[in-house]
Amino acid sequence: MKRVAVLGSTGSIGTNCLQVLDALPERLSLSGITAHRRWRELAEQTQSTHPRWAVVTDESLSHGVDRAAFSSKTEILFGESGIERLCSSPEVDVVVSAIVGAAGLRGTWVALECGKTVAIANKETLVVAGSLVMELAKRTNATLLPVDSEHSAIFQALQAGRASEVKRVVLTSSGGPFRGRTLAQLRDVTPSEALAHPTWNMGPKITIDSATMMNKALEVVEAKWLFGLRDDQIDVVVHPQSVVHSFVEFVDGSVIAQLSPPDMRLPIQYALTFPDRCESIASKLDWKKSFDLHFEPPDLEAFPALRLGFEVASRGGTCGAVLNAANEAAVERFLAGSLRFCDIPRACRAVLDQHQFDASPSLSELLRLDREARQEIARWT
Ligand code: NAD
Ligand code: MG
């Protein structure tokens, strides 16, 4: 029995994760859940799952929360210290890192410091501090398992050969809602158009990232750190059906892919039951129906964010933290209506180019650069 803590349990990954746990009661039990502000949803989740802890991470809510709404079996904790207590508890074996943005770093870090297994959906943590995170995991003998569908696919495909036999990994991208448009046609797209993703149902931040293709840029960096790849070993191909979740090309030319319908419950479950596979509630491919799989190269002119990903993967150092923070702040401004869609990658490019590069920064330096990049974006016109 694995005892699981789900950070960000009220989000898209979080709620899918609770479904996976609910379907595998003989293998997985829930120790703790967390939400930032939506404490009523969190309270509701405790009523059906009765975890030992529930953490409300927005500390300012510590007096506004109705304790009676939570299960009587659940202790309520607040703020970052609540996350730290949950992630370091000996009663937790696996931490699912499903908070959105750089805010997800702290819990992942604490769990790794304690040598635990982290099922990581929060790619931003690896973009911000991939080098330090991987070093920490190595030092404490902790395990990082991918939840992001592309990285789960690569992780599965890599099992077909040795690391030295890998030629390249290829990340697939749906292309998002604006596939096929030119840069000029992207000038005035609205938040509601950008929020309508064709194949995946996700939280708002990653949905905008998918529309700009910044999501794939972040995933290139994520793949570099997770699998110890050089940036020239990572490619991206557009595949609008989101059925082939990514693939690995070996030196002999064999390509090993992982296929399934777009349903995050499968990669979440694989990370939680690894190395075992078991029956799953995720949707299955129907081989009795005909369907096509299409692949095309990405359009780097219309989606310049993708270039940033390759550049950041190649330069490393402080670049990931700066790109990630600039993008988070730019997406917030776009959703609030104060920044145009095509200015998201432009503003990120400007902030990245201006920052003082350091090839081997400390965690505190990365966190300082994260704050500064957000301030730069707030001023960007
Ligand atoms: P979401 O917006 O649906 O949920 C985010 C969760 O994080 C919520 O529980 C929220 O309460 C919590 N949260 C938000 N801000 C916080 C803060 N400042 N401090 C602490 N908690 C905070 O997001 P999501 O779509 O579930 O994505 C979560 C992570 O998983 C992201 O890093 C995303 O890139 C990654 N991911 C998501 C999907 C997907 O299908 N949704 C796929 C692959 C990777
Ligand atoms: Mg992905």
* Banded model confidence at residue 344, pLDDT cuts 50, 70, 90: very high
Statement to judge: residues 125 and 156 lie in one domain: no
Mean pLDDT of 126-142: 98
- Tell whether 44 and 75 lie within a shared domain: yes
Any ligand 1 atom below 6 A from CB of 98? yes
What Rg do the C-alpha atoms of the chain give, in angstroms?
20
- Are 210 and 304 in a shared domain? yes
For residue 176, the ligand closest to its alpha carbon is 2
Q: Is beta strand 166-173 parallel, antiparallel or unpaired with respect to 244-250?
A: antiparallel
Q: Give the dihedral sign, CA 205/208/212/216.
A: positive
From ligand 1's centre to the CA of 123, what distance in Å? 10
Q: Ligand 2 centre from 151 Cα, in Å?
A: 7
Atom of ligand 1 nearest to the CA of 13: 26
Chain mean position to CA 229? 18
The domain boundary, picked from 106, 129, 147, lies at 147
- Same structural domain, 97 and 172: no
CB of 152 sitting under 6 A from ligand 1: no
Whether a cis peptide bond, with omega within 30° of 0, leads into 25 is no
325 lines ligand 1 (CB under 6 A): no
The pLDDT confidence band at residue 185, using thresholds 50, 70 and 90, is very high
| Residue 88 one-letter amino acid | S
**Measured between alpha carbons, how far is 370 from 381 in angstroms, rounded to an integer?**
19
The C-alpha angle with vertex 14 and arms to 13 and 16, in degrees rounded to 5, equals 65
Write out the residue range of the structural domain in which residue 32 sits: 2-147
Judged by its nearest atom, the ligand closest to the C-alpha of residue 149 is 2
Assess if residue 263 is contained within a domain.
yes
User: What is the distance in A from the centroid of ligand 1 to the CA of 103?
Assistant: 10
**Among 82, 112, 147, which residue terminates a domain?**
147
Q: Which tens digit of pLDDT belongs to each residue from 265-285?
A: 999 999 999 999 999 999 999
Whether 10 and 41 have beta carbons less than 8 Å apart is answered as: yes
Angle (nearest 5°) at CA 283 between 278 and 285: 100
| Same domain (yes/no): 14, 132 | yes
Ordered alpha helix ranges (H), the chain: 12-23, 39-49, 79-88, 105-113, 123-140, 149-157, 191-194, 204-212, 214-227, 265-273, 305-315, 319-336, 343-354, 363-379
Q: HSE on the CB side for 278, CA within 13 Å?
A: 16
Q: Is 343 touching ligand 1 by the criterion CB < 6 Å?
A: no
Residues 127 and 164 in one domain: no
The rounded mean pLDDT for the chain is 97
Q: Average pLDDT of 318-338?
A: 98
**What residue has token string 């090993």?**
256
pLDDT of residue 200: 85
**Residue 122 sits in the same domain as residue 186:** no
Q: Which ligand has the nearest atom to the CA of 153?
A: 2
Looking at the domain assignment, is residue 323 inside a domain?
no
290 occurs within a structural domain: yes
Cβ(100) – ligand 1 distance below 6 Å: yes
- Do 122 and 213 fall into the same domain? no
Mutate to test the pocket of ligand 1, among 19, 206, 245 (most ligand atoms within 8 A of CB): 206
Ligand number, closest to the Cα atom of 60: 1
pLDDT-based confidence at residue 197 (cuts at 50, 70, 90) = confident
Instruction: Specify the ligand 1 atom closest to the Cα of 204.
Output: 2
From residue 234, give the alpha-carbon distance in Å to each of 88, 130, 243, 303: 34, 16, 19, 17
Is residue 55 in some structural domain? yes
Q: Is 197 in the pocket of ligand 1 (CB under 6 A)?
A: no
Q: Is the CB of 151 under 6 A from ligand 1?
A: no
- Residue 130 included in any domain: yes
- C-alpha distance from residue 32 to each of 87, 142, 200, 314, 364 (Å): 9, 19, 26, 37, 28
Domain boundary, last residue among 315, 337, 369? 315
Domain count, the chain: 2
Most ligand 1 atoms within 8 A of CB, residue of 99, 118, 151, 200 to mutate: 99
Residue pLDDT, tens place only, 19-77:
999 999 999 999 999 999 999 999 999 999 999 999 999 999 999 999 999 999 999 99
Q: What is the pLDDT of residue 198?
A: 87
In short, whether 214's Cβ falls inside 6 Å of ligand 1 is no
Half-sphere exposure of 351 (CA within 13 A, CB side): 32
- Among all bound ligands, the one having the nearest atom to the CA of 206 is 1
Query: Looking at residues 193-222, what average pLDDT do you find?
Result: 95
The protein residue whose alpha carbon is closest to atom 9 in ligand 1 is 8
- Residue 177 belongs to some domain of the structure: yes
Supply 354's token pair: 């201006």
Task: Please name the amino acid found at residue 78.
Answer: F
Q: How far is the CA of 186 from the centre of ligand 1 (A)?
A: 26
84-120 pLDDT, tens digit each: 999 999 999 999 999 999 999 999 999 999 999 999 9
How is 351-378 classified by DSSP, letter by letter?
A: HHHHS---SS--HHHHHHHHHHHHHHHH
Are 142 and 179 members of one domain?
no
Determine the length of the chain: 381
Asked whether 11 lines ligand 1 (CB < 6 A), one says yes
Coil, strand or helix at 242? coil
- Using the atom order of ligand 1, give the atom closest to the CA of residue 201: 40
127 with 156, same domain? no
Q: What is the CATH number of the domain that holds 51?
A: 3.40.50.720
- My answer on whether 232 and 96 are in the same domain is no
- Answer whether residue 328 is part of any domain: no
Helices 204-212 + 319-336 axis angle, to 10? 110
d(CA 199, CA 218): 19
Per the CB < 8 A criterion, the answer to whether 215 and 298 are in contact is no
Q: What is the mean pLDDT of residues 230-240?
A: 96
Same domain flag for 166 and 235: yes
Q: Whole-model pTM?
A: 0.98
Residue 28, in any domain of the structure: yes
The pLDDT tens digits for 352-379 are 999 999 999 999 999 999 999 999 999 9
CB atoms within 10 A of CB 65: 18
Atom of ligand 1 nearest to the CA of 9: 9
